[in-house]
Chain A
């Protein structure tokens, strides 16, 4: 069956460190993978999209990698800040309209 798994439900790190979140998928061959941020009680907000032919994508302090051989994406936040505390979701696009989401990793950056 098709699955998207994010490595841990919760991750605590110290301010200033790099947070690394993992997204693994099985039985998909996605052309794209996206990462979203969700704050409590709010809808998810798009952060980054990476295509299957791109190994890495950066946006300010964010970096995403995509390894189609390992079927894995890594999401990094460098120089993390307490304001980065949120739940981060990865999403695959399976077909034109099927955006399939992982369960999310709740990141807490400790001051």
Chain B
């Protein structure tokens, strides 16, 4: 139990589907993140939210749409994805401030067919 819960753990979707990834953190943190992890590439920061406000959008295509209704929940809405979007999507949270540890969920494995 990491304190950050992601659902679903595995998702297969077609290129025309719409689906969402969900993340919930039970750590009382202020900041939440989406990262993408592809084979042989470093973790790519996608979005950052601090106190529900988006503070970072790392040039992510609009087919990925984040939503942060409160400090404990974060969603990633997926629409018309491409096969190259298949990856492990990791949600994380941290307390606001420099040097704080970032806590990751177990990830959602996404396959786009």
**Residues of A at under 8 Å CB distance from B?**
4, 9, 31-32, 34, 41-46, 49, 51, 89, 91, 93, 96-104
Contact = CB atoms under 8 A, between A and B. Distances in A.
B104 A45 contact: yes
A97 B101 contact: no
A89 B50 contact: no
Nearest to A100: B45
B97 to A, nearest CB: 7
Which bracket fits the contact residues of B? 20 to 34
Contacts, number: 64
B101 A49 contact: yes
A93 B99 contact: yes
B33 interface: yes
A93 B37 CA distance: 18
B49 to A, nearest CB: 9
Contacts of A32: 98-99
Contacts of A103: 40-42
A109 B103 CA distance: 26
A106 to B, nearest CB: 11
A49 B103 CA distance: 13
Contacts of A31: 98-99
